[in-house]
Each structure stands twice: as C-alpha cells, then as structure tokens.
C-alpha cells in the first residue's frame, strides 16, 4: 500500500479520522473515537476501544464496502432535568438513530445495497459499578433498532463488565474482539463522560432519509 492511501481515505468526508499503518496486519487502520464513524472501500482495518458505548460493524457482503461507528445514548437523567420527560426517549434515541443511519447511508450512497447489509455489534459494558447502567440502555437501543429496521445480525458481544478492543475488516467482514482486563477503566469512563457532556448540548438535527 502506497503513502497516498495512508493520507487520503477512499471515501470523502473522513479526512478527520486518525489513520495509521498497522504493521501487525499489514493494512492502514482507522481509529475512531466516541461519536465518530468510518467507512472504507479499501482493504483497511477500523479499530476502537469501547466501555459503555456501542460499535456496529456494517458492510455490504457482496462488494466488501463497509464501516463501523462508536456511539452512546445521552445521559437520560441529565436530559430529563433539562428537557422534561416528554422529550426524554425521543431525543435520546435520535442520537443512536443518527449513528446508525449515517453509517448505513454512507455505505448505500457509495454503492452498497440494503439487501446485502450484514451487522455485528459490540460493547455496552458496565465498566464502573457505581455508574448508571447506560451500557444496558445502549444494548437495548441497538438490538431494537436492528430488529425494527430488519437488518441481518450476524453476531454480537454485548454487556459484561469489561472494556473491549474491536478491530474490523469491512472487506472480509472479519472482527477481532478482546475484553480488556488490565486497562485502567477510569480512563475509558472519563472519555465517555466527556462525550456525554458534549452531546447533551448538541442541537437535534433533521431526519435522515434511508435509501
């Protein structure tokens, strides 16, 4: 793989995502953070570390085009105080909807077909016992979303008490997943708390059309 493939993503719009050469696997890797997603048409790897968050790995199995997201529903307790209970469920779920629909729409707009999509999902761990179980709410959301949208779920690894490192190869659909027992959970929890602080103040966008 030449240097141009490392510096320029195969699909426009992902220039902000950190990419590097992964010498262990011999491919370019894209590292996504909470709130990010990445889609590729090349033989690349996508990687992230999950605590309470969820990552969905989605691809068109016929053409090997796909990507991965990393999302968490907002803190529903904070939203309840700020917006009132009537807005609670709708607004919280919309963040998850955007994460899934943006990923799927990007795949479809670059040649994928909805009938060929396959999905694998990971995360939702309760990594800090004293925290509210946002991981369980994330799991419930993503499973309901997959069911309601009629997507083909191939595999999942959700819940438990450990962070996960996930690596995904959209071209082949292979996923490597490791539960991390020797990492400081506080660092991941702090990152996710910061993400929740950021997204609770974001305006609600318009509807995303699936096609």
Q: In the prediction, which pLDDT does 44 show?
A: 97
Pairing of the two strands 117-123 and 37-40: unpaired
Instruction: In whole angstroms, give the CA distance from residue 85 to residue 198.
Output: 20
Max CA separation in the chain (angstroms): 53
pLDDT, tens digit (0-9, with 9 covering 90-100), for 116-156: 999 999 999 988 776 668 889 999 999 999 999 999 999 99
Element (H, E) at 95: helix 85-109
> Which percentage of the chain shows pLDDT scores above 70?
72
User: Please, which pLDDT band fits residue 5 given cuts at 50, 70 and 90?
Assistant: low
Pairing of the two strands 27-31 and 45-50: parallel
Residue 9, pLDDT > 50, answer: yes
What strand order describes the sheet that includes 65-69?
37-40, 65-69, 54-60, 117-123, 152-158
Spatial CB neighbours of 174, under 8 Å, sequence gap ≥ 6:
168
pTM of the model: 0.81
Task: Average the pLDDT over each of 68-82, 121-135, 156-170 and give the range with the smallest value.
Answer: 68-82
Q: In the prediction, which pLDDT does 126 show?
A: 87
Q: In the prediction, which pLDDT does 10 show?
A: 93
Name the CA radius of gyration of the chain, rounded: 17
Q: Are 181 and 146 in contact (CB under 8 A)?
A: no
- Counting other chains too, the contacts that 177-185 makes at CB distance below 8 Å and 24 or more residues apart are 177/122, 180/49, 183/49, 185/51, 185/127, 185/128
């Amino acid at each position: 793989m030449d240097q141009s493939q490392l510096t320029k993503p195969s699909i426009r719009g992902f220039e902000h995502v950190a990419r590097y050469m992964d010498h262990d696997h011999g491919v370019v890797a894209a590292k996504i953070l909470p709130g990010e997603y990445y889609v590729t048409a090349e033989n690349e790897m996508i990687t992230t570390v999950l605590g309470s968050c969820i990552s969905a790995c989605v691809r068109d199995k016929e053409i090997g085009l796909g990507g991965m997201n990393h999302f968490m529903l907002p803190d529903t307790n904070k939203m309840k105080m700020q917006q009132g209970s009537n807005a609670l469920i709708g607004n919280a779920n919309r963040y998850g909807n955007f994460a899934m629909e943006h990923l799927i729409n990007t795949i479809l707009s670059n040649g994928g077909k909805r009938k060929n999509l396959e999905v694998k999902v990971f995360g939702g761990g309760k990594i800090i016992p004293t925290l509210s179980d946002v991981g369980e709410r994330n799991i419930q959301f993503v499973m309901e979303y997959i069911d309601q949208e009629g997507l083909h779920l191939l595999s999942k690894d959700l819940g438990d008490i450990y962070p996960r490192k996930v690596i995904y190869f959209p071209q082949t659909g292979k996923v490597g997943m490791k539960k991390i027992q020797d990492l400081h959970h506080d660092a991941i929890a702090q990152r996710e708390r910061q993400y929740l602080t950021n997204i609770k103040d974001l305006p609600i966008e318009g509807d995303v059309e699936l096609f």
